[in-house]
Amino acid sequence: MADPLPGNIALQLQLHPERFDPLVALAAWQRSLAASGAEPAAAEAHFIGRVRGVTAAGVPLEALELEHYPGMTEAQISRLAADCAQRHGLRAVRVDHRVGRVLPGEAIVLVAVTADRRGPTQRGGQELLEALKHEAPFWKREWSGGVGAWVEGNTAF
Amino acid sequence: MADPLPGNIALQLQLHPERFDPLVALAAWQRSLAASGAEPAAAEAHFIGRVRGVTAAGVPLEALELEHYPGMTEAQISRLAADCAQRHGLRAVRVDHRVGRVLPGEAIVLVAVTADRRGPTQRGGQELLEALKHEAPFWKREWSGGVGAWVEGNTAF
Amino acid sequence: MITASITVRLFAALRERAGWAERQVALPAGAAAPTPASLWRQLGLGDTLPAQVRVAVNQVFASADQRLEPGAEVAFLPPISGG
Amino acid sequence: MITASITVRLFAALRERAGWAERQVALPAGAAAPTPASLWRQLGLGDTLPAQVRVAVNQVFASADQRLEPGAEVAFLPPISGG
């Protein structure tokens, strides 16, 4: 699960076909970073995205269905993370993303990064989240009233 | 511990005289938000700051000593959080901050916020962190080689 | 004799509209190598590749006009909506 | 007769330089109300309040020139370095 990225950055990436708890994922990540023997990073930023209870059109959402491109999705996230880590001097990156059927309120994405200073940490985490949303092959279908509709494009920033 | 802020925002604030685990604090916060019956927020951002192993001057740090102004520090953080929550439309804010003697690698600050969209969430969390660093009465003393030196101003962003 | 072929994959709305997810396209010996854009026409997906459809070749984003090697996997990707 | 007073508090480097953390300053009956700046001089902390020292009155940031009510708590705060 841990791929070395250029410049000794460690990426942990996990796609979850079932519900996941972001804090459990973060705890596992922090334990593995501590086990590596490195000094804890001075700055760490996390972002958790959860499924809204309404569709883009404003009606109640039953579920979100998340399709991906097995193989390419993982490879593309690795490339995006390596790129972002290099640009911002990140030390470690963790990405968790749901696939399959996701219910309102459930976590859909977790992005966590560490670096030596708070500015690059925050900017790097934000940039990686935007990159995932626009450059990693995932497609959402909103299910409402038994009817599914593919989402074209992202929710407002 | 939970103060209502203007606009129905809940602030949880805790000053820790002893070591704290940010993920434990986050779990307690998430449980209390869930217990309130509100739908989970679509966006949640966290920042954790930890003590570096070297002083601003670059020599090994033994410990950081954190002084605060009991009463004013808590009141000022509440004001800063309410202000930031209103500006960015935050739904919930959690702040944990160490006081006393803090060792290298230990968490010194946790800022966590939720909102309905990722942009305001990330911006609101960052802005609150900067506000804490510049507007909440905390003073750091770096201990190194048995000598303490007060830190004037903040580390680079 | 083994016939060289290219794998074409469709995802999400494109897959559902076409009614298929994956096809093997045989490469006739001696014919010019196809491009993603030429395969889009050849498979009856449309006259021209819409600007919002992205192309991946061997699981990396690629130009719609690049020549495809035998054995390549080409995918047509509707607008991404992850995260 | 109870003498009205003002509490003055110092923190961090200011406290250590002055050698004290808290003092009660009595307000003579009939005298003009002091300001944080006048207390700074009166307590021998310096001629003028340095620009980087911030003032809190009753635990809220305040001007160094505001008149202080009897019973007020005024604090002199060196540059903040939290977070």
pLDDT digits (tens, 9 = 90+) for D15-61: 999 999 999 999 988 888 999 999 999 999 999 999 999 999 999 99
A60 touching B (Cβ < 8 Å) = no
Domain A2-150 in CATH 3.90.1170.40? The answer is: yes
Residues of B within 8 A of A155 (CB-CB) are 117
Average pLDDT, chain A: 92
pLDDT at D49: 96
User: Closest to A133 (Cβ–Cβ): which among C12, C60, C83?
Assistant: C83
Residues of A with Cβ-Cβ distance to C75 under 8 angstroms:
69, 72
Q: Which of B30, B44, B49 sits opposite A118 (nearest CB)?
A: B49
A30-34 long-range contacts (CB < 8 A, ≥24 apart) are A30/B23, A32/A2, A33/A92, A33/A114
Whether C51 contacts chain A with CB within 8 A: no
Q: Does residue C82 fall inside a structural domain? A: no
**Predicted pLDDT at C78:** 96
For D80, which DSSP code? P
Residue A1: the pLDDT is 46
Nearest to A18 by CA among A123, A128, A99, A133: A99
User: Do the chains contact at C82 and A133, CB–CB below 8 Å?
Assistant: yes
Tally of structural domains, chain C: 1
CB contact under 8 A, A152 and C78: yes
In a mutagenesis test of the A interface, which of B19, B121, B122, B142 is the best target, namely the one with the most A β-carbons within 10 Å?
B122
Beta-carbon separation of B47 and A50 below 8 A = no
Q: What are phi and psi of D25, to 5 degrees?
A: -110, 120
The residue segments making up the domain with residue C10 are 5-77
Chain A residues contacting C via beta carbons under 8 Å: 49, 66-69, 71-72, 75-76, 97, 108-109, 129, 132-141, 150-154
Beta-sheet pairing, B9-16 with B92-98: parallel
Alpha carbon distance B85, A32 (integer Å): 34
Rounded-to-integer distance, Cα B85 and Cα B83, Å: 5
Flag if A137 and C80 touch (Cβ within 8 Å). Answer: yes
Give B60's DSSP letter. Answer: B
Determine the longest span between alpha carbons in chain C, in angstroms: 46
**H/E stretch holding A27:** helix A22-35
CATH number at residue D40: 3.10.20.30
Task: Measure C1 CA to nearest chain A CA, in Å.
Answer: 30
CA dihedral defined by B73, B75, B76, B80, rounded to 10 degrees?
130
Beta strands, E only, C1-83? 5-10, 22-26, 54-57, 60-62, 73-77
CA distance B133 to B138: 8
Q: Which residue of D has its CA nearest to B135?
A: D80
Return d(Cα B152, Cα A18) in angstroms, integer: 49
Could you say which of B97, B108, B150 has the minimum Cβ distance to residue D12? B150
CA pair distance B20, A47, nearest whole angstrom: 21
From the list C13, C59, C82, which residue is nearest A136 (CB)? C82
Per-residue pLDDT of chain B (157 residues; tens, 9 = 90+): 455 454 456 899 999 999 999 999 999 999 999 998 888 999 999 999 999 999 988 999 999 999 999 999 999 999 999 999 999 999 999 999 999 999 999 999 999 999 999 999 999 999 999 999 999 999 999 999 999 999 976 666 6
| Cα angle D59, B109, A24; round to 5 | 140
Question: A133 to chain B: nearest residue by CA?
Answer: B118
Shortest CA gap B102–chain D (Å): 12
Q: Is A47 on the interface with B (CB under 8 A)?
A: yes
Can you give the residue ranges of every domain in chain A? 2-150
How many beta carbons lie within 10 A of that of residue C54, not counting itself? 18
Q: Which residues of A touch C79 (CB under 8 A)?
A: 152-153
Residue in C52, C22, C20, C48 with CA at minimum distance from that of residue C36 = C48
CB distance B139–D11 less than 8 Å? Answer: yes
Per-residue pLDDT tens listing for chain C (83 residues): 567 899 999 999 999 999 999 999 999 888 889 999 999 999 999 999 999 999 999 999 999 999 999 999 999 999 999 88
Residue D72 resides in a domain? yes
Contacts of A91 in chain B (CB under 8 A): none
| Single pTM value for the model | 0.93
- Residue D64 near residue D36 (C-beta atoms within 8 A): yes
Inside any domain, residue D9: yes
- What letters, b where the CB count within 10 A reaches 16 and e where it falls short, cover D14-52? bbeebeeeeeebebeeeeeebbbebbbeeeebeeebeee
CB B151 to CB D81 under 8 A?
Answer: yes
Which residues of chain B make contact with A129, given a CB cutoff of 8 A?
Answer: 118
